[in-house]
Structure 1
Amino acid sequence: MDWIIGAVCASLVAGAAYAKKSLTLSGCAAAILMGTIYYGAGNLLWFGTLLLFFITSTLLSRFRKDRKQEMEKSYAKTGNRDAGQVMANGGIGMLLCLANWFIPHPAWLYAFIGVMGTVTSDTWATEIGSLSRKPPRSVLTWKVLTPGASGGVSLLGSFAAALGGAVIGTGAFVFTWFSGIEQSGWFGWILVGLISGLAGAFADSYLGASVQKMYRCTVCGREVEVHEHCGEPTKQVRGWSWMSNDLVNVLSSVIGGCTAIGLGIIFAL
């Protein structure tokens, strides 16, 4: 019955997102598969936390979208998520959910909070930080960057990242209560989400500034993540040829998850 409930709920949410063009067809299919597993192999805690990330991120992607349109042309992924982006954001959490189904252990849950805290923090930092009136600075050199540049950080974006992680921690605490799972104080959950989310988000920025594959537009000279800009093919100027934006998201999620395991042990959640 849990698998059926998961499939129905996931289909409703993913179908609505596809209708609103927040997901492509492949993204919709991936979201249905993922949501089914999150609820069937997990419970409300796993499914609800995933849903919290997806809904808040989708709403933020539409917030002041007119001001973000130019920057989105430089991103490898935009608000219309495909299967690759869906899996990059929620695939590790799905594997953790399955691992906990086969071999139950609190460490899987700690890692899950860290992973979801990371993807939420990173998404919130991008969506809100891009609206900052002050230009971002490189996380490596602290030089001023063009808004939307990979590896850039800002005060507004960092605050949004912290808030996103804290929301995931808070949501996880609430969902454990509804799921009847034994828990300790709420403050520890919030700290785990906040700290691991920030760790993962800054790891994402560091990887983006150092090893992510980046291109330069031959027309406007802007450094971008896409193969084509201003109607012309771009040229790779830095980074490892195999280090895509999706892979950066996966690696930063792993870092956030490992951070959360350590914090979970410290706070004995």
Structure 2
Amino acid sequence: MTTILDTIIEKKREEVQRLKKENLLQQSEEKIRPSLYEKLKSAKTLQVISEIKRASPSKGIINNGVDPVKQALLYEKAGAACISVLTDTPFFKGTFEDLKNVTDAVQIPVLCKDFIIDEIQIDYAKFHGASVILLIVAALSKEKLASLYQYATSKNLDVLVEVHDDKELQTALEIDAKIIGINNRDLKTFQVDLQHTATIAKKFPFQEERVLISESGMKTVEDAKFVAACGVSAILVGETLMRSNDVETTLTALQVPKGVVAL
């Protein structure tokens, strides 16, 4: 059976071929941003990676009229650790132009959120100002995951490696990922369950120099407290912030104390 992830990746292959035919202009001087990894390691409270997302396959249109720059500046003012910008157009209505406009406007780390399957996408993310990229274990062979991870780190990018189960966590650890995210949304069914974080966190090596992020499904302060108690350093929040009438209050409320994990 073809899954949503399969459909997205097939479309992404077409995009990669198109990107390879385009020429990136000479990059302007790179803006120096703080390291997301160091930020998460040192923070005393749960950090929020705030996402700019117009739409998604599971929710449809979320906030199609959003001004990415205004939203990003609200996030930065409210204390976001990082801003995630969707650059996938067919399924999320994002663009690389959104990424460039946001990176020009803010000083904090910016994540290029996309389904990366080729080095050219990493080049585009870097060219448009991203300091962090996403690699999804479920979308890649282990060999390709490892090569893309090394390519991105060679470009001085932080890499968020996303997992969905214990097996994928082991794969992320084997490539020596430092920032690992647990997606509470099953990318094959798009169902969300915060229990994914609790289950996978039990296998996470917190004693090592790595940080854990919980992604998707964060709606309330109680949700934030639940995953914080599992030992995560940050949460990635999109829809809740995109629908909020008071972004600063919503974001600040999610910055609960970090949980203490018994090692």
Using structure 1 for the length normalisation, give the TM-score: 0.25
Structure showing greater Rg: 1
Using structure 2 for the length normalisation, give the TM-score: 0.25
